[in-house]
């Protein structure tokens, strides 16, 4: 900022003080004239007052000048913190700095969050691209055979579709638009549709499926709830070498129970964390540690709850709480 411009801005900001000293001098001379007091002593007093005011103004301008320079440097560094600046004296000025500091903290937090989400997304799609190649390569090899195994081919097609679906849902959950449509749906219809999507997995691994009482309605989004159930059923079959998977509802909760390898107690508190695979995930190269995280995010979006109980070697039970506060359905 140019010196003359800065001087003009300073004069504008201090014009009340200049008017005050001018008014005081005028009143001083006016009183002396009215009472016919000799002007000589008053002139000396006025000269002293003006001199002191000039020195004070000069010092104040010097402080103002350096403060503006520091603010310009801070602005160039895109930092709103008053670090390195002198202590502010006015309350409104102090509040102004505090507001700027809070704004900068918020911007930094949002930027940190954005950078973390960007890194997570890059990592997820890197893992996804490597894993999506596996079923595609298997399908390519199967199609080259004279009599390809139909059940194995369906399994690979299911896995390829699941990877694509997970990528689409991950993108939606990571964004601000989730096309959520709440309505009262039949739980049995949603579960049966989810079972149909993962039927190839059940058939190939010869896992017995048991569907018990599911006759209830739930206020939810059918697509997102089905997505979560598909992921949970896939996990149940994936970690069940032999045995069965049972799905039933009771007292407003949906239970998905398997007889698989179970989850270690030390892994249970972290299974919903993004990218956490645990001991079982390290045993299979196909685990990304994203499926359960997406399930929880989808169910949180719907207002549902999810919890997992497991005993290593005996199986796992997933409990989805379907109750939620009543909302108006459009």
What are the pLDDT tens digits along the chain (330 aa)?
567 787 887 888 888 888 998 998 899 888 888 888 888 888 888 899 999 999 999 998 888 888 777 767 766 665 555 554 445 555 556 667 767 778 888 888 888 988 888 887 787 777 777 777 778 888 888 888 888 888 888 888 888 888 888 887 877 777 655 678 889 999 999 999 999 988 888 888 889 999 998 989 999 999 999 999 999 999 999 899 889 999 999 988 999 999 999 999 888 888 888 777 766 654 555 566 778 888 998 899 899 999 999 999 899 999 999 986 444 443
Helix/strand/coil (H, E, C) string of 88-144?
CCCHHHHHHHHHHHHHHHHHHHHHHHHHHHHHHHHHHHHHHHHHHHHHHHHHHHHHC
Contacts of 80 (CB under 8 A, 6+ apart): 74, 100, 101, 103, 104
Task: Output the pLDDT for position 326.
Answer: 45
Q: Which residue, 214, 225, 211, 220, is CA-closest to 185?
A: 220
Helices and strands in the chain, H and E counts: 10, 7
Whether the model pTM is above 0.75: no
Secondary structure letter of residue 268 according to DSSP: G
Task: Output the pLDDT for position 152.
Answer: 82
Task: Output the pLDDT for position 75.
Answer: 63
How far is Cα 96 from Cα 278, in angstroms, rounded to an integer?
A: 48
Task: Output the pLDDT for position 97.
Answer: 74
Residue 205, phi then psi, degrees to nearest 5: -90, -5
């Amino acid at each position: 900022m140019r010196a003359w411009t800065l001087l003009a801005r300073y004069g504008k900001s201090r014009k009340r003080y200049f008017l005050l000293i001018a008014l005081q001098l005028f009143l001083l001379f006016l009183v002396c004239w009215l009472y016919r007091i000799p002007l000589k002593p008053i002139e000396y007093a006025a000269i002293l007052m003006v001199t002191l005011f000039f020195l004070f103004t000069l010092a104040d301008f010097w402080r103002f000048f350096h403060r503006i320079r520091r603010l310009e440097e801070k602005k160039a560094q895109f930092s709103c913190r008053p670090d390195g600046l002198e202590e502010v004296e006015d309350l409104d000025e102090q509040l102004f700095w505090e507001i700027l500091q809070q704004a900068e903290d918020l911007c930094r937090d949002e930027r940190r969050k954005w950078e973390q989400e960007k890194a997570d997304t890059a990592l997820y799609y890197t893992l996804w691209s490597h894993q999506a190649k596996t079923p595609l390569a298997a399908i390519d090899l199967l199609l080259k055979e004279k009599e390809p195994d139909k059940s194995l081919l369906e399994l690979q097609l299911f896995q390829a579709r699941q990877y694509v679906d997970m990528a689409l849902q991950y993108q939606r959950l990571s964004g601000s638009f989730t096309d959520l449509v709440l309505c009262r749906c039949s739980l049995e219809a949603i579960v049966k549709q989810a079972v149909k999507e993962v039927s190839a997995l059940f058939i190939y691994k010869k896992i017995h499926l048991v569907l018990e009482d599911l006759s209830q309605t739930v206020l939810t989004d059918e697509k997102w709830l089905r997505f979560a159930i598909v992921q949970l059923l896939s996990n149940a079959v994936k970690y069940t070498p032999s045995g069965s998977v049972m799905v039933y509802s009771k007292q407003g909760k949906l239970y998905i129970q398997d007889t698989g390898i179970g989850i270690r107690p030390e892994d249970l508190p972290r299974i919903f964390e993004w990218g956490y695979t645990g001991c079982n995930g390290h045993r299979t190269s196909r685990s990304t540690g994203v499926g359960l995280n997406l399930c929880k995010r989808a169910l949180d979006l719907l207002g549902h709850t999810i919890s997992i109980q497991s005993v290593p070697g005996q199986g796992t039970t997933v409990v989805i709480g379907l109750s939620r506060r009543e909302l108006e359905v459009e």
